[in-house]
Amino acid sequence: MSVLWPAVLMARALTCSIKGIPRGLIVEPSQGCTGGCTECDLSDEPAALKSEELDEWLKASPAKPVTIHFSGKHSDPLASPLLKELTDTARENCSMLSISTIGLGLKPAQERLPVDRWIFSIPAATEKSWETLRGNNRFGEALNTIRTVQQKSRAMVEVVFTIWKASVNDIEAFNRLIQKENWQHNRMVFGRFDPEGNHFGRLENIALNHEDCPYILTGHDKLILKNNLQGCPLAGYLFLDASGILRPCPFTGDESPHSAKPEPESWITAREWLEQKKKRSYPACEWCP
Ligand code: SF4
């Protein structure tokens, strides 16, 4: 890391602030997924973001982001055949780069990608609950991926246990894994409800049986947030999806504003989304914990 890194980071943060552009950009490398869950219905030809598209968007922005975070919606960055190229492009255009993944399908040498942080999201901490949720048993593969990255990458490694109904009793098992696997950075979160009914976020998977779950069930299969939350957890971020569309966050869809043209006006328009995000006025905000 260059000795100029802190100065560049501060200059980028200042420019973002002056220009009113969020400091973070979440990028979806691919709409494909490596999870292979039995009940998942993914496209056979998922969109994959090209590094040229990412570059075009970044060049059009009035302010380079401080942070770029590769993540997915119902997808995983490791499904992208272009992850190396995307990583190189992102690396040149930000000060901190991270990848969030389910840790399945790691290809040779990907553990050495030049990122600052790997975030592994696991839906269970035992084989049994993993199998119940995903319909396959790749728990060991996920653990092996995390070990490989711990051993071969200099990046920070964080493990996030997402609690679902089937894994609600895995909290102790996760705590044991933290010790056994030396996961120094770790946290637990509750799974997010997905009103579209895709992915794990289906109603049947939400851990409503845990007292700390952010949702309660009312009426006919209708979930609501327990607390009247203020603000937006992703106020400092925008989302570029794998088809090259800029959106307020990974959870808003075509019913909310979005821009398909990588030009400065799209970034200027995106500045106006912040107030709506803070007011939680998009339909997806209703279920955003
Ligand atoms: S759904 Fe709404 S509250 Fe949640 S991250 Fe997106 S804009 Fe913010």
Domain that holds residue 193: 21-287
Residue nearest to atom 7 of ligand 1 (CA): 277
Query: Does 234 sit in the ligand 1 pocket, CB within 6 Å?
Result: yes
Ligand 1 pocket check for 233: Cβ under 6 Å:
yes
From 69, 227, 251, the mutation candidate for ligand 1 (largest count of ligand atoms within 8 A of CB) is 251
Kindly give the distance from the C-alpha atom of residue 251 to the centroid of ligand 1, in angstroms, as a whole number: 7
User: Which atom of ligand 1 is the closest one to the Cα of 234?
Assistant: 5
- What is the band of 38 on the pLDDT scale with cuts at 50, 70, 90? confident
Q: Check which CATH number belongs to the domain holding 278 and give it.
A: 3.20.20.70
Is 12 part of a structural domain of the chain? Answer: no
Inside any domain, residue 106? yes
CA-wise closest residue to 236 among 67, 18, 6, 57:
67
| Assigned domain for 8 exists | no
Instruction: Give me the pLDDT at residue 221, please.
Output: 74
Task: Catalogue the E-assigned strands of 52-208.
Answer: 67-70, 96-101, 117-122, 156-163, 185-190
DSSP 97-109: EEEEE---SPPTT
CA distances from 33 to 88, 102, 106, 260, 280 (A): 21, 9, 12, 23, 29
User: Are the C-beta atoms of residues 157 and 118 closer than 8 Å to each other?
Assistant: yes
- What's the pTM value of the predicted model, to 2 decimals? 0.95
Number of domains in the chain: 1
Residues 105-164 have pLDDT tens digits of 999 999 999 999 999 999 999 999 999 998 889 999 999 999 999 999 999 999 999 999
**Is position 1 within any domain?**
no
Task: Please report whether residue 15 resides in a domain.
Answer: no
**pLDDT of residue 60 exceeding 70:** yes
Phi, psi of 238 (to 5 degrees): -120, 170
Residue % of the chain over a pLDDT of 90: 83
In a domain, 82, yes or no: yes
Q: From the CB of residue 179, how many other CB atoms can be counted at a distance below 10 Å?
A: 8
